[in-house]
């Protein structure tokens, strides 16, 4: 870390250089505090420019420090010192000014920025609120209504919008520093504006608060921070900046110490580490521009949409005209719905469809850099696809199978140049779900592995490498989770009590509601197949339900009953009667016990997966659960939960 100072005539230039993102840690805080004094004492200096080295200003406070108690000098005090400096400080911003970075900029008397600048207070994503004056200075600079969107709703204006909002005083062209120096010299000719904290702010009508509260509550999914950020902002408007700063800091320190914030920090670092596994460091990915997707069903079309969204060209291969027409209509539907939700413009939707080519037969795969097979989950069918691809594709084209259960080694048997082959397990809907399980075979080349991680990054996905086992990481844990849920029911716990406990924990649905939605029959057929191979697979309640014709919502009932056209589960006396032979005496256990049993089952399976070398780290397992299986983000994942439970006991 360094904070450098250069003097250009009467202007001092202070550059925070703390790679990779100029995060503000204790050393940076100490140096800034000392510099504010030293530059005030320097009679030659009339103004100070504060900037960041490289392509961004400052990404925020150093999150790695948050696992320890806060250490002085505290950022609010550093910013207060800069704000009250005798020489005006001017923030010169390109790239991200996030969190504590934006708070530092708000403590400066002026802000100049390039178009590339981006401003955010993303603290709520870490389960905390801004802790260095962001909730107080921002509304005094841009007004309450716009400040609420940035403080509590993740709005991230760029340079041009920031100028309109009044968040920056001037938008300048690169090179940034000469432009900032010219701005500073001009500013020194005029009376200075008030420090941000002293500026008047108009009190909004009560409707503004009520509407913001409603919007925030509707999107919070149980997260505490957004509403608390709004509370701090409002307090400062209603009781003055000093009271606002005090409340902001106390909420920040309170939330920083919560389990929720620790879980979100764990995921923050895990998500970044996932993109850069050690084994492919320094290995160049193969260039990928045109991708063939074989199979245009729900999964294939979703994968094609994800690729098109990322700017790649796609050839979608189907067997006949009807298949092509179905796939085209699915993709049109996907982009239409993104357009209706305002995520893309009409032009962007058309441009995406223009990058889609459809083809009957495999010929077009010959010119593709990557082929992703997404046909029916059946070994013989998949093998016949790769027999064709092996004949047609370039030897350097990467070939991937999208499989959720089948051993990729079996699919690749007989494939020429098998080092270009691996499994890519997408999750449905593939254009939405973030998880990508990457399953190399023992023969997969390292640059092919690197190519798949690079592809994940381009698609905005979270890649997790999985070794080969039945169900890979995610479906293997899911099976154990479901088995434990059924074991609870067999032990006399009510079906609805299990679901309610898991919803209370933060899942959108309980395990039985989820099975009813997805259908009970696939897992049943899987068990029946094992039985027909002579394996000993005892009957479980789900088997009895499927044999009685109860396969879930699609048959009007599974674990629950469903009225026609209504997805809300109703308690089912019939289901209870069917499974009764396997169910013990009624046993009402506490919600925490249910949650603890299911968490322990997931973590035990996760530990086996780690011990067998199937997953590279416990954090990877947490990413699989959070990004592929609806595990509540604010709980950090089953391995995080288990580690915290162990720490509590010691
Ligand atoms: C805060 O500011 C609290 C204050 O209100 C109050 C304080 C009193 N700290 O994302 P990338 C690492 S809370 C430590 O891949 P990009 C990251 O782990 C903070 N480390 O880069 C990774 O490490 P590695 C509020 C950080 O170019 C490397 O930097 N701010 C921090 O795709 C590269 O990261 C935020 O929440 C940090 N603050 O995106 C902003 N940030 O190489 C968080 C990053 O070892 N950061 N790292 O894997 C971001 O959103 C992105 O990093 C950014 C760059 C958009 C800036």
Q: Ligand 1 pocket, 245 CB below 6 A?
A: no
Give the helix ranges, DSSP H, for 92-204.
Answer: 100-107, 134-142, 144-152, 159-165, 176-187
What is the Å distance from ligand 1's center to 45 Cα? 32
> Taking residues 347-369, what's their average pLDDT?
96
What are the phi and psi torsion angles at 523 (to 5°)? -65, -35
- Residues 179-227 have pLDDT tens digits of 999 999 999 999 999 999 999 999 999 999 999 999 999 998 888 999 9
What is the Å distance from ligand 1's center to 579 Cα? 51
SS (H, E, C) 401-466: ECCCCCCHHHHCCCCCCHHHEEEEEECCCCCCCCEEEEEECCCCCHHHHHHHHHHHHHHCCEEEEC
Q: Give the per-residue pLDDT at 1.
A: 65
Distances (CA, A) of 51 to 89, 200, 497: 10, 27, 55
Residue nearest to atom 23 of ligand 1 (CA): 272
Q: Ligand 1 pocket, 123 CB below 6 A?
A: yes
**What is the spatial distance between Cα 531 and Cα 427, in angstroms, rounded to a whole number?**
28
Q: Which residue has the tokens 């029916």?
A: 376
The dihedral built from the CA positions of residue 258, 261, 263 and 265, taken in this order, carries a sign that is negative
Q: Ligand 1 pocket, 432 CB below 6 A?
A: no
Q: Give the least confident one: 96-105, 214-223, 492-501.
A: 214-223
**What is the spatial distance between Cα 44 and Cα 46, in angstroms, rounded to a whole number?**
7
**What is the spatial distance between Cα 78 and Cα 246, in angstroms, rounded to a whole number?**
15
Is 82 within 8 Å of 89 (Cβ atoms)?
A: yes
- Residues 607-647 have pLDDT tens digits of 999 999 999 999 999 999 999 999 999 999 999 999 998 88
Q: Ligand 1 pocket, 206 CB below 6 A?
A: no
Residue nearest to atom 53 of ligand 1 (CA): 59
Is 561 within 8 Å of 570 (Cβ atoms)?
A: yes
Q: Ligand 1 pocket, 395 CB below 6 A?
A: no
Q: Which residues are the active-site residues?
A: 404, 425, 437, 475
> Taking residues 383-400, what's their average pLDDT?
95
Residues 13-23 as b/e (b if ≥16 CB within 10 A, e otherwise) read bbbbebeebbb
Residue nearest to atom 21 of ligand 1 (CA): 21
Q: How many CA atoms lie within 13 A of 389 on its CB side?
A: 33
- Residues 392-405 have pLDDT tens digits of 999 999 999 998 88
**What is the spatial distance between Cα 98 and Cα 75, in angstroms, rounded to a whole number?**
14
Query: What average pLDDT does the structure give for the chain?
Result: 96
Q: Ligand 1 pocket, 64 CB below 6 A?
A: yes
Is 367 within 8 Å of 290 (Cβ atoms)?
A: yes
For ligand 1, mutation pick of 63, 269, 456 (most atoms within 8 Å of CB): 63
DSSP state of 288: -
What is the Å distance from ligand 1's center to 12 Cα? 27
Q: Ligand 1 pocket, 197 CB below 6 A?
A: no
**What is the spatial distance between Cα 23 and Cα 89, in angstroms, rounded to a whole number?**
19
Q: Give the per-residue pLDDT at 220.
A: 86
**What is the spatial distance between Cα 90 and Cα 184, in angstroms, rounded to a whole number?**
7
- Residues 38-92 have pLDDT tens digits of 999 999 999 999 999 999 999 999 999 999 998 999 999 999 999 999 999 999 9
Q: Which helix (H) or strand (E) holds 16?
A: strand 11-17
**What is the spatial distance between Cα 422 and Cα 439, in angstroms, rounded to a whole number?**
6
427 pLDDT exceeds 80? yes
What are the phi and psi torsion angles at 128 (to 5°)? -125, 180
The dihedral built from the CA positions of residue 426, 336, 153 and 162, taken in this order, carries a sign that is positive
- Residues 561-587 have pLDDT tens digits of 999 989 999 999 999 999 999 999 999
Residue nearest to atom 50 of ligand 1 (CA): 59
2 pLDDT exceeds 90? no
Token representation of residue 153: 């709703």
How much is the pTM? 0.94
pLDDT interval class at 523 (50, 70, 90): confident
**What is the spatial distance between Cα 316 and Cα 313, in angstroms, rounded to a whole number?**
10
Is 90 within 8 Å of 110 (Cβ atoms)?
A: yes
């Amino acid at each position: 870390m360094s904070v450098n100072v250069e003097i250009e005539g009467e202007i001092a230039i202070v550059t925070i250089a703390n790679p990779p993102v100029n995060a503000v840690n204790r050393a940076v805080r100490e140096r800034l505090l000392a510099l504010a004094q030293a530059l005030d004492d320097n009679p030659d200096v009339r103004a100070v420019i504060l900037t960041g080295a490289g392509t961004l200003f400052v990404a925020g406070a150093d999150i790695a420090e948050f696992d320890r108690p806060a250490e002085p000098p505290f950022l609010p005090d550093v910013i207060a010192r800069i704000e009250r400096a005798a020489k005006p400080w001017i923030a010169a911003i390109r790239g991200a000014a996030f969190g504590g970075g934006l708070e530092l900029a708000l403590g400066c008397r002026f802000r100049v920025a390039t178009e590339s600048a981006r401003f955010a207070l993303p603290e709520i994503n870490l389960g905390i609120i801004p802790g260095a004056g962001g909730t107080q200075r921002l509304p005094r600079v841009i007004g309450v209504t716009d400040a609420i969107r940035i403080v509590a709703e993740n709005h991230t204006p760029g340079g041009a919008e920031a100028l309109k909002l009044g968040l920056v005083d001037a938008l300048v062209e690169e090179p940034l520093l000469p432009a900032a120096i010219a701005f500073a010299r001009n500013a020194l000719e005029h009376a200075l504006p008030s420090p941000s904290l002293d500026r008047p702010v108009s009190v909004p009508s009560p409707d503004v608060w009520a509407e913001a509260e409603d919007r925030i509550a509707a999107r919070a999914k149980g997260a505490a921070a957004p509403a608390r950020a709004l509370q701090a902002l409002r307090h400062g408007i209603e009781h003055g900046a000093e009271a606002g700063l005090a409340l902001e800091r106390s909420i920040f320190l309170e939330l920083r110490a919560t389990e929720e914030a620790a879980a979100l920090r764990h995921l923050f670092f895990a998500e970044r580490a996932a993109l850069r596994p050690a084994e492919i460091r320094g290995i160049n990915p193969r260039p990928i521009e045109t991708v063939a997707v074989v199979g245009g069903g729900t999964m294939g079309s979703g994968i094609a949409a994800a690729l098109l969204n990322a700017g790649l060209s796609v050839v979608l291969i189907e067997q006949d005209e009807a298949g092509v027409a179905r796939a085209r209509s699915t993709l049109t539907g996907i982009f239409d719905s993104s357009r209706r939700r305002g995520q893309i413009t009409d032009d962007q939707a058309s441009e995406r469809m223009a990058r889609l080519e459809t083809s009957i037969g495999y010929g077009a795969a010959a010119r593709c850099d990557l082929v992703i097979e997404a046909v029916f989950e059946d070994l013989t069918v998949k093998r016949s696809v790769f027999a064709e691809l092996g004949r047609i594709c370039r030897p350097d084209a990467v070939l991937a199978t999208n499989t959720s259960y089948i051993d990729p080694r079996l699919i690749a048997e007989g494939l020429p140049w098998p080092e270009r082959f691996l499994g890519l397990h997408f999750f449905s809907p593939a254009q939405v779900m973030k998880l990508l399980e990457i399953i190399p075979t023992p023969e997969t080349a390292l640059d092919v592995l690197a190519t798949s991680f690079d592809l994940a990054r381009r698609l905005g996905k979270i890649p997790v490498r999985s070794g080969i086992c039945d169900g890979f990481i995610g479906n293997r844990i899911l099976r154990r989770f479901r088995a434990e849920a059924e074991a609870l029911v067999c032990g006399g716990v009510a079906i609805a009590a299990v679901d309610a406990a898991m919803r209370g924990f933060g899942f959108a649905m309980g395990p039985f509601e989820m099975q009813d939605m997805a259908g009970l029959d696939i897992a049943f057929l899987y068990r029946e197949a094992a039985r027909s191979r002579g394996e000993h697979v005892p009957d479980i309640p789900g088997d009895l339900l499927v044999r009685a014709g109860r396969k879930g919502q699609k048959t009007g009932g599974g674990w629950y009953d469903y009225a026609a056209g209504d997805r809300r589960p109703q308690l089912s006396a019939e289901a209870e009667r069917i499974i009764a032979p396997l169910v013990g005496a009624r046993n009402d256990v506490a919600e925490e016990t249910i949650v603890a049993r299911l968490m322990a089952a997931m973590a035990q399976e996760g530990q086996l997966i780690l011990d067998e070398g199937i997953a590279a780290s416990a954090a990877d397992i947490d990413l699989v659960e959070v990004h592929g299986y609806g595990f509540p983000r604010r709980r950090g994942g089953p391995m995080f939960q288990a580690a915290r439970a162990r720490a509590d006991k010691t």
